[in-house]
Amino acid sequence: MRKFYAQIFIVLGVFAYGMLGADFKVNAQTTITEWNFDNADLVPSVGTGTAVEVGGTTSTFAGGLGSAKGWNTTNYPVQGTGSGTAGAEFDVSTVGYQDITISWDQRHSGTSANRIRLQYTTNGTTWVDFVATATNATNINNTTTTTADFDAGRYIGNAKDTWFNRSANLASITAANNNASFKIRVVTEFESGSNYGPANPAAGSSYGAAGTLRFDNVKIMGNTFAAGAPTVTTTAISNITYNSATSGGNVTSDGGSTVTARGVCWSTSMNPTTADAHTTEAGTTGAYTSQMTGLSYNTLYYVRAYATNVHGISYGNEITFTTAIPPFPPVVDFSASSTTIVEGQTIDFTDLSTNVPTTWNWSLMGGTPYSSTVQNPQDIQYTVAGTYDVCLTATNAYGSNTLCKTGFITVVEPVNAQVVITEIMYNSPESGTDSLEYIEFYNNGTAAVNMEGYTTTGVDFTFPAMTINPGAYTVLAVNAAAMQRTFGVSALQWTSGALSNGGEAITLKDNFGFLIDSVMYDDVAPWDTLADGWGHSLTLCDPSLDNNVGENWTVATTFVAVNAANDSIWGNPGAGCPSIVLPVAAFTSNVTEIGINGSVAFQDQSTGGTITAWEWTFEGGTPATSTEQNPTIVYSTLGTYDVTLKVTNADGDNTVVKTDYINVVVNPGIGDVDGSKVVVSPNPSNGIFNIAYNGIATSLKVYSLSGSLLLQLKNTEINNRLDLSGFNKGMYILEIELSNGTKLNNRLIVK
């Protein structure tokens, strides 16, 4: 009979090897302990170990699988109770072995549970569910030789009075290696919800506590243990206070060499090591206790046991815990995102109080809002310059404390700094790295500007404590020494970065982060392209102009030097432009719409140096040209007309044309005449007109064709008869304004 079984097991073992892959070599491993129960007792047939019932089960011996006897267990929990607690336990030391695997044969009666769980412990007390899958276990129906499959890590028994050949590969459970405390147990579990399912799949079958599960050929196997680092587990945390806690570990294997150090290590980060805070405890193998002290309160910690031998260090499983709250009132402190701001800016406050406050009461003098009960008030705005106190009262279950910081917040009025970017050398004529890139800044205001803390973008720089006086320049360069050698100019040297040869934005911000000036220069028109590698800098000769308009910039015309490549260099760093100021023509007038024979007074508004000549051209005007600065022109013909002004100074000239600027109309100010809403009869007449319209009139006016007001009637003076018999023969304009603001008009002809 034994020989017959051996042949079957070899077949099953080869099948299991194929199912589990090369790492699960069932037949190649050494049997540590085996129970075949042929002697109708629980003494192992190979090796040493203990087999016991668990969870209230009882047992007898009955026929085995291909052998004399098997261990028959019964009296399992009644329906709805004891899931995962009842079955058989096998205690086997794995000292000297690793890559542990388990195999056993198990027979299900029809009313036995159809879900089986393998559990293991590496410390002798804490049981862990083994999650069985098709890659780390086998579950074969011995009758059909087909796989019975798995359910949520459990073995399925789906046939009555049938043996199943089962196995588990625990090679990945390193704590099972070389472990004197290793144990396994095979227990029943609910199929679903809180109900056991019967092994008999037939309809109408039910589970019964008297159902039997019979064991045979239970084998614990492994490979010979190779000496290495110890095996250790971590003990659960206990005695947690606000600054201490108790843990420990259990060295279940010394790895084949004497343990030289053991203890626990902890950190506020995952996977602590002995490089972090740790204890050192006496002893080698077995359990030990460690006290962790000096902990921060209300803090999450990660803990691992460790053990060391000549082969290395091993760590146990990681455990987390949070320290308690200290039994003391808060010690109050706080900070602010900034303590010096400009009017209108906001501040974020941060509570730094210790001992875990639960409520906060802030007094924020001068702020909006001026009080808060949140832990970290945000966006508190200060709108009036001055210095302000901040107070915080923090409270917990053990009391309250208050901290006031006098004059903590300083609010200053905004500084209207008129610092302007006036010159840029972004692509000097050099091969390789440019050494002559620079930016020029000019104080175009009337007050000195303290530049300390000002910053730039485009290139990175923070200004030191320094002042730019009104009308003064400062230069920021990529290479201060090169600026001195080439231009003879002292320059600040920026920290990092370079000016783009293709154009980019340069900004200057004050020490509060407010934008002072910005320029988005480019290397294409209207920006002068001679600055793009041809030796010229870009210059803004008039700092009052908009420096984001390319037309306001020109290239430097001051020759400086010729470099080693025979390229000429032009620039004015620190000195501004030469005194060449071209004029910019501009003008306005007192009116742009007039009647026939009306006059227009023009006012010159040109800028740029001293204007010495004005050349006006007036289409449709009399006179048609003028050299006066502010001429007056008469227009006698209906139409729209252009006006041109050319101005000249010592450095050049400039022309502006305003198209269709002057509009000569019949009725200036009245608009188009539309007689459709005012009926006049007779028209023409000898001066007496009958007027009809819809609405209530509040005003009636009669104008000449040149726009002069000749007659005005209001409210009750107005009726449906208009007498113009005293007017000269000719055409007139009638305008009636209604109570709703609508204006009606028509032409009147007196004959």
Confidence of residue 669 (pLDDT cuts 50, 70, 90): low
pLDDT tens-digit series, residues 380-412: 999 999 999 999 999 999 999 999 999 999 998
Residue 103 has pLDDT above 90, yes or no: yes
- Tell me the percentage of the chain whose pLDDT exceeds 90: 77
Q: Is the pLDDT of residue 486 over 70?
A: yes
Q: Is the pLDDT of residue 6 over 90?
A: no
Q: Taking residues 612-632, report their average pLDDT.
A: 96
Fold type of domain 2-224? Jelly Rolls (2.60.120)
Q: What is the pLDDT of residue 432?
A: 72
The answer on pLDDT for 705 being more than 60 is yes
Tell me how far apart the alpha carbons of residues 257 and 572 are, in angstroms, rounded to a whole number. 80
pLDDT of residue 650: 79
CATH number for the domain formed by residue range(s) 675-750 = 2.60.40.1930
Quick: pLDDT tens for 671-693.
Answer: 556 667 899 999 999 999 999 99
User: Averaged over 696-720, what is the pLDDT?
Assistant: 87
Give the mean pLDDT of 241-252.
95
Mean pLDDT of 488-497: 94
* pLDDT, mean of residues 350-362: 96
Which residue's entry shows tokens 């004050």? 510
Distance of alpha carbon 632 from alpha carbon 12, whole angstroms = 118
Return the biggest CA–CA distance within the chain: 150
What's the average model confidence in pLDDT over 472-493?
Answer: 94
Q: Is 205 a residue whose pLDDT tops 70?
A: yes
Look up residue 280 and give its two tokens: 């050192």
Least confident of 37-41, 542-546, 593-597: 593-597
Residue 84: the pLDDT is 96
- Residues 6 or more apart from 485 whose CB is under 8 A from it? none
Intervals of CATH 2.60.40.10 along the chain: 231-322, 334-412, 587-665
The pLDDT score that the predictor gives to residue 116 is: 97
How confident is the model over 52-67, as a mean pLDDT? 94
The model's confidence at residue 442, banded by pLDDT at 50, 70 and 90, is very high
User: What pLDDT was estimated at residue 673?
Assistant: 60
Find out whether the peptide bond into 526 is cis, omega within 30 degrees of 0. Answer: yes
Nearest-angstrom CA–CA distance, 182 and 176: 6
pLDDT digits (tens, 9 = 90+) for 266-308: 999 999 999 999 999 999 999 999 999 999 999 999 999 999 9
Confidence of residue 549 (pLDDT cuts 50, 70, 90): very high
Q: Which CATH class is domain 231-322?
A: mainly beta
User: Rounded to an integer, what distance in angstroms lies between the CA atom of residue 655 and that of residue 258?
Assistant: 100
**pLDDT-derived band at 512, boundaries 50, 70, 90:** confident
Q: What is the pLDDT of residues 310-320, one digit of tens each?
A: 889 999 999 99
Q: Which residue spans of the chain are classified as CATH 2.60.40.1930?
A: 675-750
Percent of the chain with pLDDT over 70: 95
Beta strands 399-412; 340-342: pairing state: parallel
Give 94's strand partners: none
* Domain 587-665, CATH class in plain words: mainly beta
How much of the chain is helix, strand and coil, in % rounded to 5?
A: 5, 45, 50
Dihedral sign for Cα 491, 492, 494, 495, please: positive
Mean pLDDT in the chain?
91
* Residue 72 CA to its chain's centroid (Å): 64
Rounded Cα distance between 674 and 653, Å, is: 47
Domain with CATH 2.60.120.260 in the chain: 2-224
Residue 581, pLDDT score: 80
- Mean pLDDT, to the nearest integer, of 630-654? 91
pLDDT score for 339? 95
Q: What is the tens place of the pLDDT at every residue in 136-150?
A: 999 999 999 999 999
pLDDT of residue 638: 79
In angstroms, the CA 92 to CA 471 distance is 93
CATH code of domain 334-412: 2.60.40.10
Is 665 a residue whose pLDDT tops 80? no
Residue with the bigger pLDDT between 668 and 485: it is 485
List phi, psi (to 5°) of 459: -130, 155
